[in-house]
Structure formats: structure tokens, C-alpha cells
Copies of this chain bind each other. A is one copy, B any other.
Amino acid sequence: MRSERLADIEEGTKILEKYKIDLEPIGSRTEITGEQTLLHAAQQAGVHLAAVCGGAGVCGKCRVRIITGQVSPPNVAERRFLTQQEIEEGYRLACMVTPLSDVKLHVPPGSLTTTQRLQVEGQETKVTLQPSVIGLDLEMEVPSLEDLRSDQVRVQDASRAAGHPHLSTGLPVLSCLSDRVRNLDWKFRLVLRDDEVVAVLPEAESFCGLAVDIGTTKIAAYLVNLETGETIAKTGAMNPQVAYGEDVVSRIAYVNEGPDQKRVMQQVLVDTLNEVVASLCEESGLRQEQIVDAVMVGNTAIHHLFLGLPVMQLGMSPFIPAVSQAVQVPAAELGLQIAPGANIYLPPNIAGYVGADHVSVQLVTRLLDEKRTVIACDIGTNTEISIIHQGQVWSCSCASGPAFEGAHISAGMRAAPGAIERVKILDDGLHINTIEDQPPVGICGSGILDAISEMLSAGMLKSSGALDRDHPMVRKEARKGDVLLAAADTTGHKLEIVVTRSDINEIQLAKGAIRAGIDVLMETAGVGNEEVDAFILAGAFGTYIDVDSGINIGMFPPLARHKFSQVGNAAGIGAKQMLVSTGMRAMAEAIARKVDYIELTTYPRFTHKFAKAMFFPETTGIGDK
């Protein structure tokens, strides 16, 4: 599908003997000739590969791994920095390698100079602290030939004396208890969850919890002090499953190939979460065993892939989740390296494509307490939408596709430095903003949304999505025309960032799906535009977009601008709230039970609604600014 679209773009330019270079997991793409190196490709694509020596092959920093494709054989410089095994595994120095075919390569995080923008922020709301664990300080007699009680019984006896007569201890804790209590000289703090031992800490030591929003593409993680509710540290990471499929549908297809694939898909994620935990610990100066609880949210597929649940039935109609209720899983069972007895709580899923992450959003927006009519929308490759009206909640899911993640857009890229994120067409011409004000290298979701909205307002676009080839800004070279947003010559390579007819079509598909979902929910609830009191936009993309552009292209209904609010990473915030409060977990479970799921594919005349929603509005009715 990708290469077809590329061919389509090339049609007008007829550049020959160039190879396509895909850079994973960043999701960026470029083309170079057989004389140019992979380092060149990375620079051209705006991927900041470390190359301290400037590409002379003497620093060894620009390591990449060839996933597919033919490249030049390893040279002497590379053999100096790479072992034979690494070379066999596909590792190479990007500055020394030229392509012999189209190439897909993996850029390890350590080879990058800048990290991508990841969303860990969000609007916080206060919740009452009600963690699932407590601390219990104990001190006890040392064993002797006259007192031969087992360590298990000795600790039980002491905790009974301290008012906890029903202590239980699972194998992972028992596996370290004996050494731990001796190292701590029989004076220590037990962390208990319903009288089950979670961790053995030095006396009076603080403990914390881990909240993670596992997105299809990005992971946001927070460390929260469970005694104060304070967020101690936060970080972001890429979801490494991207390497096995950009969207959940391709990941499900990969996992369906066999049990090994299923294990790999689970393991890469667990490995990354362990790296995230290690980095949060380093940042906060805590040890991993001080992390005594965890909450993870993700969509249903990610939830299943993380837990190693079957996804075959989730990948085909009627898209049935294996598990929908909230689960608590021992962290040790999944290999997550936190306190030995810690559990991971995962809130319920509503349906195959409305997952625990959306429940988390609903929780944060207090959908259950809401007396008004509210729409909540979390835009992603898959967009979940909920509406509450007169105390009743309906949810649905739309296949909006990865266009807003920069995929399937000719100059598309993720929201990384150098991505065009704002576009404005004024009387004096075109204006752009890039992330971190870097030289432009591509366009991200909010940028393409802006661009199309502005092109529409400027009269370049017809309602059907066709470009008006008579408009002076529309270039005639491409078969269906295109619009140049930026041109650069930063790396000795001429870079043109354009919007093509095909890009416009991708956005039409995406915004059409979202709008059709919104329309169906409003119809189901029986409300018109004037009855909607609030429209909540959650998630990374929903936070960064210009709402006016969304209204302008018809992705959102034409409500008054003030009714819209952008709440940030609500899924992550909800995870934090459930981490510090078991009451919030109960509320999440109550929400999931209350929601009526609307299956769009069986909704009457849905296809018609979707097709209609793909058109752009005839008038450019921008909301009040």
C-alpha cells in the first residue's frame, strides 16, 4: 500500500535509480541514490542520528539495524565497531552503508541525538488518596537453635502482633524474603495489599506506583508517590511493537502467525517497560522494589498483546475481546521488574475497539457524574468517541487510520523536531511553524490538518477534495496537482514538503470516519448541535491540533468554539488516578458497565454517513475564535 502511494507521488517527477529508505520506529521515510549513505538518508528524513565524526566512520555512534533490503557489504571501519554476531544480526554503521535496494532499517534509541516529543502531560484533577497498599513496620527476634520458626511463620507472627493476623505471601516474595529480612537485620517495612505481602523494604521507606498509558505508537509513564499522591517522575518512550506493524491490525496479523510471534510482541513491550522503569528509578533515585503497584491503560488490542491474550478473534468480525473485565495480574507473571509481589491493574475494556484507555478518559472527564450533554473524543489510528446525554452513555470506535500520525502522507512524519505542526496562509503567502523551530523535514498530523483547512479557506480545494488547478499556489507538475509547503537545502539535498491530492484523500478518510462516528452517537442520543454542552478532545493529537481547523474541514460539528476543551493525555491521567485510588478503579468499572457500545458497521446507513462526511463543508464556517 505504501509503495503504491509512493509510486503515485513519483509519477510526476520520474526520478530513477533511487531507493526508498524506511526509518523505524520513527516512521519516517526518504529516498536516496545508490551512492548515498544511510546516514545521508537519515539526515534527509530529519532523523537525528548521532554522528560525531560527521560520517567518517571513526566514532561508531550511528549504529542502525537493517530489517529488510540489500545493502553494501560491511567494510573495515564497521568491523572495528561491530562484532561478527552484531553484523549477522544486521547491525551496521549508517555512515558506511549504501543501499542496493529499498531498505527498511531500525534506528535504536541510543543512536539518536534527540528524542521524540512524547506526551506525558495532561490536565490533572484532584482525587482522594486511597491506594491499594499500606506500609507496616515490623521488628522481630532473630532465629536461634531455641527458636526454629521458619522465616514465613516468624514474619506472620510479628504481623499478627501488629494487628494483621491473616498475612499471606506469594512465591515471588517468599523467594527473596529470607535474604531480605536478614540483610535488614529483622527490622523492616512490609508493604501489604489486602494483607498480602507486596514488598519488603527498609523500615519507614517510602513506596510508589507506576501508571502507564501504552499507546499504539507512544508510551507515557509516571511514577507516583502512593503516600502523598505526588508525581515523582515521568517519561515517554516509543511503543516498540511499531516495528511489527504500525497499527494494531497489522500487529494482530503478525501475532496470528504463531506463538513465537505472540511472545515476541509481548516481550518487546515488557522489555521497553522495564527500560522505562529503570529510567524512572534513575531519575527519582528510587529502587525498583519501591514500586509496589501499577496501573496500565491501552486500547483493547494493546491490552491483549501486553497480557499475551489471544487476538485472533479480535482481528476479525465481530471483533470479540478475550477479556473485557478489569484484571489484576502479578507483575512477576509478566516479567515486569518492580516489587516482587506487585500487581498490575488493567481497567475494563468496553469492546474490541473501545479499550481501557478510553475508559480512563471517561473516568477523567467524570462522564458518570455529568449532568450536561458531553462528547469525548480520543483521536488516534483508531478514534474512540463517547457521548453522555441525560445520564446515559454511548461509545463507538472509528477506523480513522494513521494519517494523523504522519503515516500514508507523502511528506508525513511523527511529531518530532523539524515537523511542520502549524500552517497559515495569509495575504503575504504561506507561513509554517516546525517543532522545536528546526529546519522543516516533514509534516505531522496537526500540520497537515492546518494545511488542508487553510487550503480550503484559500479556495484551493473543492468540496470533493480535488485541487483547483487554476489557483496560483497549486502546482501543475503532479498529475492531480500539489501544494508546496516548504523547500529546504539544509543537508546538500533539495527537500520539498508538499501536500498532494493523495494526502488530502487520506485526511478525508480520517476526518470522515471521525465525523460519521460523532454523527451516529448524536443521532443515537437524539441530540442536535445546539444541545451539546461540551466537546472534550483527549490524547496527544487532540491536544496539539487547531480546533478551528478541525471544525473548518468538518471533522468536528460546527459548535461554538468555547465548548471545545483539549484535556491532554487523559488516558495517562486516568491511569494515575486509578493508581492512587481504588475508588477510582471501582468507578472505572462502573463506567464500563454503564456504557452502551454502538457497533458502527451494523448501524443503519453507516456507509452513507461515512461517505457524506468525507466531503469538505461548502462554506468555511470557522467557529468563534
Q: Flag the segment in A199-207, A314-322, A610-618 that touches B.
A: A314-322
A195 CB to closest chain B CB (Å) equals: 15
Alpha-carbon separation in the docked complex, A149 to B597 (Å):
11
| Chain B residues with CB below 8 A from A176, complex form | 310
Contact of A148 among B148, B182, B320 (CB under 8 A): B320
Contact A309 B175 (CB under 8 A): yes
| Chain B residues with CB below 8 A from A320, complex form | 143, 148-151, 178
Alpha-carbon separation in the docked complex, A171 to B332 (Å):
12
Q: Is A292 an interface residue (CB 8 A)?
A: no
| Chain B residues with CB below 8 A from A321, complex form | 150-152
Q: Is A531 an interface residue (CB 8 A)?
A: no
| Chain B residues with CB below 8 A from A308, complex form | 171, 175
Q: A176-B310, A179-B310, A329-B171 are in contact. Are A145 and B602 (CB under 8 A)?
A: yes
Q: Is A144 an interface residue (CB 8 A)?
A: yes
Alpha-carbon separation in the docked complex, A602 to B147 (Å):
12
- Specify which of A150, A151, A323, A327 lies most central, judged by the most chain B CB atoms within 10 Å of its CB: A150
Contact of A171 among B182, B307, B352 (CB under 8 A): B307
Q: Which residue of B lies closest to A311 (CB)?
A: B178
Alpha-carbon separation in the docked complex, A608 to B349 (Å):
71
Contact A178 B322 (CB under 8 A): yes
| Chain B residues with CB below 8 A from A178, complex form | 309-310, 312-313, 320, 322
Contact B310 A171 (CB under 8 A): no
- Binary contact track A281-321/B, C-beta < 8 Å → 1, others 0: 00000000000000000000000000111101100011111
- Binary contact track A189-209/B, C-beta < 8 Å → 1, others 0: 000000000000000000000
What interface size band does chain A fall in? 35 or more
| Chain B residues with CB below 8 A from A274, complex form | none
Alpha-carbon separation in the docked complex, A146 to B601 (Å):
11
Q: Is A324 an interface residue (CB 8 A)?
A: yes
Q: Is A136 an interface residue (CB 8 A)?
A: no
A20 CB to closest chain B CB (Å) equals: 38
Q: How many copies does the complex hold?
A: 2
Contact of A150 among B146, B174, B179, B323 (CB under 8 A): B323
Contact B149 A324 (CB under 8 A): yes
Contact of A146 among B144, B146, B351, B602 (CB under 8 A): B602
Contact A152 B322 (CB under 8 A): yes
A343 CB to closest chain B CB (Å) equals: 11
Q: A309-B178, A313-B182, A317-B145 are in contact. Are A152 and B324 (CB under 8 A)?
A: yes
- Binary contact track A127-157/B, C-beta < 8 Å → 1, others 0: 0000000000000000111101111110000
A346 CB to closest chain B CB (Å) equals: 11
| Chain B residues with CB below 8 A from A150, complex form | 320-325, 349
- Binary contact track A324-337/B, C-beta < 8 Å → 1, others 0: 11010100010000
| Chain B residues with CB below 8 A from A312, complex form | 178-179
Alpha-carbon separation in the docked complex, A310 to B177 (Å):
8
Q: Which residue of B lies closest to A602 (CB)?
A: B145
Alpha-carbon separation in the docked complex, A320 to B599 (Å):
60
| Chain B residues with CB below 8 A from A352, complex form | 148
A140 CB to closest chain B CB (Å) equals: 13
| Chain B residues with CB below 8 A from A599, complex form | 145, 148
A319 CB to closest chain B CB (Å) equals: 8
Contact A325 B153 (CB under 8 A): yes
| Chain B residues with CB below 8 A from A318, complex form | 143-145, 148
A185 CB to closest chain B CB (Å) equals: 14
- 5 A-B pairs, CB-CB below 8 angstroms? A143-B320, A148-B597, A150-B321, A151-B313, A179-B312
The 4 closest A-B pairs by CB, nearest first: A150-B324, A178-B310, A150-B321, A178-B322
Q: Give 15 new A-B contacts, CB below 8 A, not counting A148-B352, A174-B309.
A: A143-B320, A144-B318, A145-B602, A148-B319, A148-B597, A148-B599, A150-B321, A150-B322, A152-B321, A152-B322, A171-B308, A171-B309, A174-B323, A177-B322, A179-B312
